Amino acid sequence: MIRPFLTGAVGYPMLEILWRRRTHPSMALAGGLSMMLLHRLSKLDKPGMLFKSMMGGAGITAIEYAVGHIWNREHQVWDYRRMPMNIKGQVCLPFSLVWCGLSGVVLMVSRKNIKGRK
């Protein structure tokens, strides 16, 4: 589980830098936990890919909310209050949908890697 955590701990902040031109160390924790979740989901034979992608997006959103609730509310690293359908400015529906899509991509790549090792 260390490899998925490290991949997420590097990848999530990189996405933040590409999108917002800045990040915060707390995003490494969120990314590591998110990638561990996706790694677990990728190992499941069932349910289908669409459901796993939705679960991945929901899980990442929950992780982002938890990190935001614990850390962001005090330090204002990000603020989604201007985004539609946000929850206390910590998470919002548009980015949750983006996480679902990115989860699908990660899950497909992970699945190919897992099958290739067998």
Give the model confidence (pLDDT) of 31-72 as tens digits. Answer: 999 999 999 999 998 899 999 999 999 999 999 999 988 888
Question: DSSP label at 102?
Answer: H
Is pLDDT at 4 greater than 90 in this prediction? yes
Task: Supply the pLDDT for residue 78.
Answer: 85
- Tokens matching residue 23: 């990040």
Higher-confidence residue of 111 and 63: namely 63
Residues 118 and 43 sit within 8 Å (Cβ to Cβ): no
Q: Is residue 116 very low, low, confident or very high in pLDDT (cuts 50, 70, 90)?
A: low
Radius of gyration of the chain (CA): 14
Give the model confidence (pLDDT) of 64-108 as tens digits. Answer: 999 988 888 788 888 899 999 999 999 999 999 999 999 999 999
Between CA 114 and CA 40 the distance in angstroms is 12
Is pLDDT at 18 greater than 80 in this prediction? yes
Tell which residue, 29, 37, 2, 1, has the closest CA to residue 11.
Answer: 29
